[in-house]
Amino acid sequence: MRVVLVLVTVAVAAAQTEDSSSPEDTVLLTRIQQSALEDLSRIPNYVCFDSIERSLWIPGEREFRRLDRMHLELAHIGGVDRFSWLGDSAFQSKTPSEIVGYGASFRGDFADNRALVFKNRWTRIRYTGRETIEGRPAMRYEYEVPRNRGGLAVAIGSDSGFVAARGAFWVDPETLDLLRIDVEGHDIPASLSLQSAVARTTYWRVLIGERGVVLARNSEFLLTERDGTVKRNLSVFSNCREYRAESTVTFGPNLATQPSTPGMQSTRVPAGLQLQLVLDTPLDVNKVAVGDSVRAHVLERSGEVPKGAQVYGRVNRLIRYNDQTPSLGPAPKARHAAPRVQVWGQHLDEILIGIEFSQLEYRRSRAPFTARLIAVESQSGKRDTQIRGFGYFGDDTMVRYDPPGAASLYISEEDPVLRRGLIMRWVTVESQRGS
C-alpha cells in the first residue's frame, strides 16, 4: 500500500504569535520568519543524492526491522521537488514510494515544511525556551495549523484527506539559521486508519554554486497505524550541487537508465528470441539498495543479438518477508512443534529481489529490453532450485505478474545473494507502442 503525505499551505502571510508573547519575542520571531523566507527565496535549482532506509516496528518488539534501502536523486527546480533513479535525467513529480511502487513516504523534506510554518497566515507560534540540538544551543518554538487552514494532505491507497499539523522548530540564536523542524499530523479522520504521522527534518548551511543556503541534511518519517505498527523512513541528503541550464533534465517517464552514447542507433529486437543473460553485478541484499544499477551480458548469440551484448537495468524492489510478517515466530525446533503462522501472500524465510532491465546494447545499436523471464539457472541448462521467479504479491494479496523487462527473484534468508554468473533465460516479446 502506498502512503503519501503532502504538506499544504493555504495562504501566504506572516504567521501569528500567541497573545501572551512579549514585544521582544514578537520582534525576534519576525526576524526568524524573515530569515527563513529569505533562505527559501535564495535557494537555487539543485540536485541531491537521497539515500532512504525504510523499516518497520511491530508492537511488542524491541527494535525496528529494516525492510529495504533506496537510492534516488532529488531535483529542486523552480521551487518544486522531483525525484528520479540515479543517473537518470527523467525527474518526476512523485514521491519515492510512488516511483518504486510501494511503501510509505513523505513529501516536504526540503522546502514545504518551512512554507507550512513560516508562510501560512494561520500558523500559530509560541516560544518555549532554549535547548541543545546536537551540541548546539537553540531556541525552541512550537506551532500549530488547523486542519481546514493548511497542514497535511494524506493519501492511503484510495482514501485521502486533510489532517491538522503541529510541531516544533529550533533556531540558532546567533545566526537565526533553522536547525530542525518537526511536523506531526493529528486530528486525523477515522477513514484514514492512522494514529499519527510525524516528520523530523534537520538542516545545515551548505554551498550550492556560489550561494550559501540552508538545506535539509537528513529526515525521519514515522507513520503509526491504528494497530500500533510503525513505518519509518530515514533519509540522508548528500552531494548537493547546483542545477545549471546546460544540464540535461527532463520531466516525464523513465525512458532509459544509461547515458546516451554518441553514434548509437536505436533499434528493436523481434519477439520470440530466447536470450540467456549472465548477471555481471552481484546483488547482496545486505548491501544493495533499490535504485542501484545492474548489468548483465548475453551468453549465446540469438538472432541478430550477438554473444556479449550488454543489458542494463536496476534494482526496483527489495522485500524481506520475515520482517514484514508480524505473526512469524522463531522456527520450531521440536519434531512435533506447531509450525509458524504464515500470513497469506508472504514467503517464510525468503527475500524478494526485483530487477528491471530496460536497455540492450550491441555493436552500435541500442534497443529497449522487452522480454519475460522463463527460467533461472546456476549453469547453462541446469535449473537453479534455490532461486524462484514468478511475480510478486500486491497489497491486496493478489499476484502481480512482472511486466516485460522485470523479474521478481526469491532467494533464501540464509544466503541472500544473487551472485555474478547467475544465468537468467528470457524470451523477447512485442514492444509496447511508444516504448
In this predicted structure, the answer to whether residue 309 has a pLDDT above a threshold of 50 is yes
Same-domain status, 143 and 240: yes
Average pLDDT over residues 210-237: 88
In this predicted structure, the answer to whether residue 9 has a pLDDT above a threshold of 50 is no
Same-domain status, 237 and 325: no
Same-domain status, 182 and 304: no
pTM of the model: 0.71
Amino acid 381: pLDDT: 56
Domain CATH for 105: 2.50.20
Same-domain status, 222 and 311: no
**Residue 257 in domain:** no
In this predicted structure, the answer to whether residue 352 has a pLDDT above a threshold of 80 is yes
Residue that finishes a domain, picked among 251, 281, 315: 251
Domain limits for position 398: 265-428
**Residue 435 in domain:** no
Average pLDDT over residues 399-407: 78
Amino acid 22: pLDDT: 62
Residue that finishes a domain, picked among 204, 225, 251: 251
400 pLDDT tier (thresholds 50, 70, 90) = low
> What is the percentage of the chain residues whose pLDDT exceeds 70?
72
The tens digit of pLDDT for each residue in 98-152 reads 777 777 665 544 556 788 788 878 888 999 999 998 888 999 999 988 766 665 6
Report the candidate in 201, 216, 246 with the shortest Cα–Cα distance to residue 76.
Answer: 216
Please state which of the ranges 24-28, 103-107, 116-120, 234-238 shows the lowest mean pLDDT. 103-107
Amino acid 24: pLDDT: 66
433 pLDDT tier (thresholds 50, 70, 90) = very low
300 pLDDT tier (thresholds 50, 70, 90) = very high
User: What is the distance between the alpha carbons of residues 8 and 153, in angstroms, rounded to a whole number?
Assistant: 7
Other C-beta atoms closer than 10 Å to the C-beta of 164 total 18
Average pLDDT over residues 154-175: 78
Domain CATH for 359: 2.40.128
Other C-beta atoms closer than 10 Å to the C-beta of 371 total 25
Amino acid 395: pLDDT: 54
161 pLDDT tier (thresholds 50, 70, 90) = low
In this predicted structure, the answer to whether residue 19 has a pLDDT above a threshold of 50 is no
**Residue 208 in domain:** yes
The tens digit of pLDDT for each residue in 330-346 reads 444 444 444 444 443 45
Please state which of the ranges 38-47, 161-170, 378-387 shows the lowest mean pLDDT. 378-387
Q: Are 153 and 197 in contact (CB under 8 A)?
A: no
Report the candidate in 368, 372, 371 with the shortest Cα–Cα distance to residue 435.
Answer: 368
| Paired residues of 183 in beta bridges | 167, 199
Same-domain status, 318 and 242: no
CA distances from 307 to 261, 275, 299 (A): 20, 10, 6
Amino acid 297: pLDDT: 96
The total of structural domains in the chain comes to 2
**Residue 161 in domain:** yes
Same-domain status, 305 and 163: no
CA distances from 225 to 5, 57, 198, 377 (A): 14, 11, 12, 41
**Residue 259 in domain:** no
State the chain's maximal CA–CA distance in angstroms: 81
Please state which of the ranges 188-192, 264-268, 366-370 shows the lowest mean pLDDT. 188-192
**Residue 434 in domain:** no
Report the candidate in 68, 3, 56 with the shortest Cα–Cα distance to residue 352.
Answer: 68
Same-domain status, 45 and 127: yes
Residue that finishes a domain, picked among 251, 280, 302: 251
Amino acid letter, 246: E
Same-domain status, 233 and 298: no
In the numeric block, which cell numbers belong to residue 304? 541478430
The tens digit of pLDDT for each residue in 67-91 reads 888 888 888 887 778 888 877 767 8
Amino acid 135: pLDDT: 85
Please state which of the ranges 217-231, 324-338, 371-385 shows the lowest mean pLDDT. 324-338
**Residue 210 in domain:** yes
Tell which wins on pLDDT, 250 or 26: 26
SS (H, E, C) the chain: CCEEEEEEECCCCCCEECCCCCHHHHHHHHHHHHHHHHHHHHCCCEEEEEEEEEEEECCCCCCCEEEEEEEEEEEEECCEEEEEECCCCEEECCCHHHHHCCCEEEECCCCHHHHHHHCCCCCEEEEEEEEEECCEEEEEEEEEECCECEEEEEEECCEEEEEEEEEEEEECCCCCCEEEEEEEEECCCHHHCEEEEEEEEEEEEEEECCEEEEEEEEEEEEEEECCCCEEEEEEEEEEEEECCCCCCCEECCCCCCCCCCCCCEECCCCCCCEEEEEECCCEECCCCCECCEEEEEECCCECCECCCCEEEEEEEEEEEHHHHCCCCCCCCCCCCCCCCCCCCCCCCCEEEEEEEEEEEEECCEEEECCEEEEEEEEECCEECCCCEECCEECCCCCEECCCCCEEEEEEECCCCEECCCCEEEEEECCCCCCC
Same-domain status, 380 and 242: no
Q: Is the dihedral of CA 61, 62, 66, 72 positive or negative?
A: positive
Tell which wins on pLDDT, 393 or 303: 303
User: What is the distance between the alpha carbons of residues 289 and 280, in angstroms, rounded to a whole number?
Assistant: 17
Other C-beta atoms closer than 10 Å to the C-beta of 100 total 25
Amino acid 391: pLDDT: 62
Same-domain status, 239 and 270: no
Same-domain status, 53 and 147: yes
In this predicted structure, the answer to whether residue 172 has a pLDDT above a threshold of 90 is yes
Other C-beta atoms closer than 10 Å to the C-beta of 277 total 25
Report the candidate in 163, 201, 169, 168 with the shortest Cα–Cα distance to residue 185.
Answer: 163
In this predicted structure, the answer to whether residue 64 has a pLDDT above a threshold of 80 is yes
Amino acid 314: pLDDT: 92
Same-domain status, 358 and 396: yes
